[in-house]
């Protein structure tokens, strides 16, 4: 019933370069082009494309003096996500519960990141250290974060603090005690059971090796899982495919070993597209998370991890509504918070639109009054939308110039060359030949291209379907590319124009007693014709005999009436009538 949305996860992965890199130059630069801020339980860092252009980006988490390279798997395990658009604009989110975040009493969080940009030359490294302090105290008893590449759940634990202050568990169970020491249960979490839905037990170390993260903070127990691991499973909730992470964590509390059940469930689809609207459906009741009676006490939508208020949503045409089974976020295709991108699969022009909405819901359990905060950061890309650019033939035949406008294209399309009947010319070569090629920018950032070619250019084919009409024909293939990938595509355009532009030569002839006087005023084809005098084509020899004269616009002949090519028509005693025929042929 619901079409699966195209979810992009960790699009631009950290790039790990394996060769040793001695004498790496590290120079910190001013932070223009880098912006960091706090958005509730997430720290956001955005990197402008100007900084990243032509570079490979590597991100490290800073934990005190240690730097930990965030590979895609490390990021998903530890609460980091990164997404770049095709031009290099990058947004990095860090969960405040992330592995390397310096957490002071679950209230103040210091996030340190180092961005390393490698230029063409591997020894050319520019690095930026970013440090951001976030305060967040409105933790709900349960918080679930669905980021682009991981699911995270944390629970408030009333007893953890006391335990951290040195109270110990009574230690009556010797065997368990030994087990706990052997597994290095210093963090309080000893082992866990995943439900796949079949139970799978692991000690902490095994779970970490399998890509999960579990830790306790001063008052919370946190667990995290990447998507699609062996211990998570898929479930359809109200028609929306969701990934479910359910686990029981065994941890030490002052009164003994304790168990807490945690669950996260994150949508992997639920997006419906029309030509101009994206509808994102999230189950109103995420059944894997909630079993008792619940009330939705808050609901917010946001973009790029940032909540929007009602007036900001209205200004952009976003809506947030509920149906019996779903919470529905609607976003018009083309909203300025997202971006369009051109594509050319099979040499055909297509576009997509990308946007990253956020949904935040606060549920209150009617029995316990416990709150669950549910936050989903959800990149959405529309399916490929085929485009058929308009070809606008602006030719006015009387001006004897072909004029065509081609568009519209997104800003990431460039015209490279044009194939004419005589061969391919680049845009520069076309302009040099006197064909005017121009790019026109539209107010909305789109563009179009125009071309002008005179009828008389050698690339224009001509023929005369009627005596006085010339048909001009200009076959073209526009060679375009999509940047930055340089994907080629082509658009063939045939232009045709007819003009009644044939002026026939005008002949005049007179005669006197002795001679014929013939004059021809040239037509539109000038002297491009064959003259046939009587039965014969005019030759140089005859020209001399017949006083041939020619200037740029006329020719003339003077022939005696006795000329060989003349015909006697009537002979009487008093007169002789003679005729001369002149035929002009193309």
Euclidean distance between CA atoms 435 and 478, whole angstroms: 14
Q: What is the largest CA-CA distance in the chain?
A: 157
Q: Do 421 and 475 contact (CB within 8 A), yes or no?
A: yes
Burial call 68-77: b when 16+ CB within 10 Å, e when fewer:
bebbbebbbb
Instruction: Using CB under 6 A, list all residues that contact ligand NAG.
Output: 63-64, 99-100, 334, 340, 408, 416-417, 424, 442, 444, 446, 479-481, 488-490, 519, 551-554, 556
Euclidean distance between CA atoms 494 and 192, whole angstroms: 69
Q: Do 158 and 216 contact (CB within 8 A), yes or no?
A: no
Q: How far is the CB of 80 from ligand NAG (least distance, A)?
A: 12
Q: How far is the CB of 574 from ligand NAG (least distance, A)?
A: 33
CA dihedral 91, 97, 103, 109 (to 10 degrees): 30
Taking alpha carbons only, the member of 273, 269, 261 closest to residue 227 is: 269
Nearer to ligand NAG among residue 86 and residue 241 (C-beta): 86
Q: How far is the CB of 69 from ligand NAG (least distance, A)?
A: 12
Nearer to ligand NAG among residue 363 and residue 409 (C-beta): 409
Residue 547, classified by CB atoms within 10 Å of its CB into exposed (0-12), middle (13-18) or buried (19+), is middle
Q: How far is the CB of 408 from ligand NAG (least distance, A)?
A: 4
Q: How far is the CB of 512 from ligand NAG (least distance, A)?
A: 17
Nearer to ligand NAG among residue 35 and residue 316 (C-beta): 316
Q: How far is CA 235 from CA 76, 267, 302, 376, in A?
A: 21, 10, 26, 17
Q: How far is the CB of 207 from ligand NAG (least distance, A)?
A: 14
Q: How far is CA 151 from the centre of its chain?
A: 26
- Per DSSP, the three-state class of 60 is strand
Q: How far is the CB of 288 from ligand NAG (least distance, A)?
A: 29
Nearer to ligand NAG among residue 64 and residue 166 (C-beta): 64
Radius of gyration of the chain (CA): 40
Q: Do 471 and 464 contact (CB within 8 A), yes or no?
A: yes
The residue whose Cβ lies closest to ligand NAG is 479
- Per DSSP, the three-state class of 301 is strand
Nearer to ligand NAG among residue 10 and residue 522 (C-beta): 522
Euclidean distance between CA atoms 81 and 228, whole angstroms: 16
Nearer to ligand NAG among residue 248 and residue 426 (C-beta): 426
Nearer to ligand NAG among residue 390 and residue 466 (C-beta): 390
Nearer to ligand NAG among residue 163 and residue 360 (C-beta): 163
């Amino acid at each position: 019933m619901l079409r699966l949305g195209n979810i992009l996860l960790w699009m631009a992965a950290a790039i790990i370069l394996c060769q040793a890199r001695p004498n790496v130059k590290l120079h910190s630069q001013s932070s223009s082009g880098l912006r960091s801020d706090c958005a509730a339980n997430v720290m956001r860092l955005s990197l402008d494309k100007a900084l990243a252009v032509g570079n490979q980006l590597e991100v490290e988490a800073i934990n005190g003096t240690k730097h930990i390279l965030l590979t895609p798997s490390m990021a998903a395990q530890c609460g980091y996500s990164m997404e770049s658009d095709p031009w290099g604009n990058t947004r990095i989110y860090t969960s405040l519960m992330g592995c390397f975040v310096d957490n002071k009493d679950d209230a103040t969080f210091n996030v340190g990141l180092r961005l390393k940009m490698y230029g063409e030359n591997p020894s050319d490294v520019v690095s930026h250290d970013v440090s951001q302090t976030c305060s967040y105290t409105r933790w709900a008893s349960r918080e679930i974060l669905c980021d682009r590449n991981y699911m995270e759940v944390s629970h408030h634990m009333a007893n953890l603090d006391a335990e951290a202050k040195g109270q110990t568990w009574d230690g009556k169970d010797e065997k368990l005690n030994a087990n706990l020491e052997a597994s290095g249960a210093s963090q309080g979490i000893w082992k866990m059971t995943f439900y796949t839905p079949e139970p799978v037990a692991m000690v902490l170390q095994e779970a970490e090796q399998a890509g999960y993260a579990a830790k306790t903070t001063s008052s919370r127990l946190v667990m995290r899982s990447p998507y699609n691991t062996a211990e998570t499973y898929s479930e359809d909730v109200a028609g929306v495919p969701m990934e479910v992470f359910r686990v029981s964590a065994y941890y030490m509390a002052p009164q003994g070993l304790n168990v807490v059940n945690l669950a996260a469930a994150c949508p992997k689809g639920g997006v419906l597209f029309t030509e101009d609207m994206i509808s994102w459906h999230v189950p109103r009741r995420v059944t894997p998370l909630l079993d008792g009676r619940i009330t939705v006490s808050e609901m917010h939508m946001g973009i790029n991890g940032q909540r929007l208020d009602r007036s900001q949503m209205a200004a952009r045409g976003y809506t947030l509504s509920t149906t019996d089974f779903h919470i529905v976020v609607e976003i018009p295709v083309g909203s300025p918070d997202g971006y369009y991108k051109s594509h050319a699969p099979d040499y055909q022009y297509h576009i997509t639109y990308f946007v990253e909405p956020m949904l935040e819901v606060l549920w209150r359990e009617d029995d316990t009054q416990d709150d669950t905060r549910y936050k989903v950061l959800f990149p959405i890309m529309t399916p490929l939308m085929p485009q058929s650019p308009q070809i606008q033939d602006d030719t006015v035949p009387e001006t004897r110039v072909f004029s065509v406008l081609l568009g519209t294209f997104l800003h990431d399309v460039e015209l490279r060359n044009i194939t004419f009947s005589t061969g391919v010319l680049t845009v520069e070569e076309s302009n040099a030949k006197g064909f005017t090629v121009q790019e026109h920018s539209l107010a909305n950032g789109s563009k179009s291209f125009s071309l002008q070619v005179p009828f008389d250019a050698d690339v224009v084919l001509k023929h005369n379907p009627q005596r006085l009409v010339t048909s001009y024909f200009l076959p073209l293939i526009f060679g375009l590319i999509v940047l930055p990938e340089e994907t080629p595509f082509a658009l063939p355009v045939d232009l045709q124009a007819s003009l009644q532009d044939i002026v026939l030569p005008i002949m005049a002839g007179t005669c006197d007693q002795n001679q014929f006087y013939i004059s021809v005023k040239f037509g539109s084809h000038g002297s491009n014709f064959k003259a046939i005098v009587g039965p014969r084509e005019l030759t140089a020899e005859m020209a001399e005999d017949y006083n041939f004269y020619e200037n740029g616009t006329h020719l003339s002949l003077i022939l005696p009436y006795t000329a060989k090519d003349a015909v006697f028509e009537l002979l009487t005693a008093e007169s002789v009538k003679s005729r001369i025929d002149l035929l002009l042929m193309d």
